Amino acid sequence: MLTQFSAMMIFALCLSVVFAITQRSEPKLMIRFGAFCFALCVGGTIVASWLMYFIKR
């Protein structure tokens, strides 16, 4: 069974692959943009999670 974190990781990975291929032309730029999107998705989720944790307290 997927945890919420692993579901988010799969979501971010698939989203990054599609964005990288469709938004950039060169393979090297695709890899960089895909890694950027993935880091932004995962990092943004972790930051938002901690924000919600402190808002609740």
Partner 1 sequence: MATPTNAPAQASAQSAATSSSLPILCLIAGWLVPGGGHFMLRKPIRGALLFIAIVGMFAVGIALQGQIYSPNTGDLLDILGFIGQLGTGLLYLLAKMFDWGQASVTIALGDYGTKFIVVAGLLNVVAAIDAHSLANGRKAS
Residues near partner 1 (CB under 8 A)? 2, 4, 7, 10-11, 13-15, 17-19, 21-22, 25-26
In this structure, which amino acid lies at residue 22? T
Nearer Cβ to partner 1 (22/57):
22
Smallest distance from partner 1 to CB 38, Å? 12
* Tokens encoding 27: 């393979």
- Token pair 């730029």: residue: 29
| Contacts of 18-24 spanning 24+ positions with Cβ under 8 A | none
Nearer Cβ to partner 1 (25/55):
25
